[in-house]
Amino acid sequence: MPRVTFEELPPDARLWIFAAERPLAVDERARVTREVDAFIDQWAAHDTPLRAARDVRYDQFVFVAVDERAAGASGCSVDALVRRMKGLQVELGVELVNHAPVLYRGETGIARVSRERFADLVESGAVGPRTVVFDNTLTKVEQVRTGRWELPAGESWHGAAFF
């Protein structure tokens, strides 16, 4: 199936979010976009092509999603996606596959810290329930579209974990 735009995917499309450790430079972003598009163009599950899309947000987040109405992503096909992203990570020297850090809007842009450091920032009052965080654990496109990706920490899993 052809690659489609992110906007063309249905709300229940399955989603993976890869957060780069820092904003990607123009050439890195072009490379990631080109490589992810090439991957999506050949992505299949049990020899059935997948209808999928990608989006890059804030030069730092790579969204990959698949419309599972026609064919679902299998474990092997998901593993292939993660392997490709890990390969890009090595090729570019920029971490892309690590869900442990917390990403949030800091004073100078998007900040990325360990969960332990985020807890320290909460304790010191440097961040609070109104600090905007990115929930990269989302699994459906609809969640991004309805504002569940970028939201105040107190309204996300971060609130339960840190406040």
- For residue 70, being part of any structural domain is answered with yes
**Shared domain check, 129 and 76:** no
How many domains are contained in the chain?
2
Mean pLDDT of the chain: 94
**pTM as predicted:** 0.94
Is position 77 within any domain? yes
Whole-number Å distance between alpha carbons of 159 and 163: 5
102 φ/ψ angles, rounded to the nearest 5 degrees: -100, 130
The tens digit of pLDDT for each residue in 101-136 reads 999 999 899 999 999 999 999 999 999 999 999 999
Tell me: do 60 and 134 sit in the same domain: no
83 and 34 within one domain: yes
Report the alpha-carbon distance of residue 101 to residue 99 in Å, rounded.
6
Dihedral sign computed on CA atoms, order 21, 94, 30, 7? negative
Tokens 């489609």 — which residue? 4
- Can you give the residue range of the structural domain that contains 154? 102-162
What single-letter amino acid sits at 83?
A: R
Query: Does residue 12 sit in the same domain as residue 73?
Result: yes
